[in-house]
Amino acid sequence: MIPAFLGLEGPTLTSRERDLFRAANPAGYILFRRNIETPDQLRALTDSLRTLSGNSRLPILIDQEGGRVARLRPPHWPEYPAPCAFAAIWNKAPITAMAAARANAQSLGLLLAGLGISVDCLPLLDVEAPGMHDVIGDRSYGPDPVTVASLGRATLDGLQAGGCVGVVKHIPGHGRATADSHLDLPIVTASAEELETDLIPFRRLADAPMAMTAHVIYTAWDSERCASLSPTIIATIIRQSIGFDNLLMSDDLCMQALSQQPGGNHMGSRATGVIAAGCDIALHCSGDFAEMEAVAAALPPISETALARLTRAMDWAGTPAGTADALAARRDALTTAAL
């Protein structure tokens, strides 16, 4: 097994993908809208990935946050509110906001589990800061770290109850970034003391089963390497200061932020770079076959420590149950919050 979560080209596995995945045995996969057509097609795709791997607990990831970041959309699937909606409810009724966030996430988890998707890349724990780039924007639970932590916890608990593994992101915090790491390399010049605010939600959810790094430079901690490629940030800030000891994946290797970092534009070098820095898993999302070949060829076998963390993470989710109750609770919570 290689320490990578890989994307796919389209809505079905191609013969060359089957050959590559069978030979490389990636730790898991991530789905995007290009891979999704109908409920039956999607369930067939996730079933085929599990059959190919021989792993009934295979990590199959998706970014289904709600709002503008949603791979599953109408007419086949319902709309879910963006995270900021729960922050707005919090300002009126914090307990109601937490109940609504939990019920919403449980409904999401049940939906995903029913489609064979086992991991949702949610919740974001990025604390809103002045000048925050719109790439985060309404995906944030707001500027108060206690609010972010509380709504993040409710969301994580809801996903677990729905039978889906949650991922906290973007550790150690993307809220101060004024650039979009999909397109550029964000550089945060806040002091270590200022950055303590950003760490609060991650510390409070340090028991989360999975976390995703940020392709952001924090000059107070490492002036040369972004968090995903920084042994200093991963060891000293993420593992020690935050206390996160579960599965750590990089953000997407395909993002342009990494073109300005060691490894440049070579996907294999980017992949080995994040693993060498201390990430357990390299995330490659584009589905570009040549890039996936380069990643697979470059990576060593997954470490025993990373495999243990992966197994522990996949054991974290609850058994999906109570579909009707969860949907009713979500409806009631959101209706009450709107009053």
Catalytic machinery residues: 182, 251
Residues 195, 173: Cα–Cα separation, whole Å:
9
Q: Greatest CA separation found in the chain?
A: 56
* Alpha-carbon distances, residue 238 vs 171, 173, 244 (angstroms): 7, 10, 6
Contact assessment for residue 249 and residue 210, using Cβ atoms and an 8 Å cutoff: yes
Pairing mode of beta strands 119-120, 60-62: parallel
Give the position of tokens 């058994």. 319
Give the position of tokens 């906001």. 97
The vertex-320 CA angle with 315 and 323, nearest 5°, equals: 160
* Of 86, 119, 88, 87, the residue nearest 104 (C-alpha): 86
Residues 175, 32: Cα–Cα separation, whole Å:
24
On the question of a cis peptide bond just before residue 59, with omega within 30 degrees of 0, the verdict is no
| DSSP string computed for 45-114 | HHHHHHHHHT-TT--EEE-EEETTEESS-TTTS-----HHHHHHHHTT-HHHHHHHHHHHHHHHHHHHHH
Contact assessment for residue 132 and residue 198, using Cβ atoms and an 8 Å cutoff: no
Could you tell me which residues come within 8 angstroms of residue 155 by beta carbon, excluding any fewer than 6 positions away?
83, 101, 102, 104, 105, 122, 123, 166
Residues 114, 119: Cα–Cα separation, whole Å:
12
Instruction: Copy the structure tokens of residue 311.
Output: 């197994």
Within the chain, how many helices (H) and strands (E) appear?
A: 11, 12
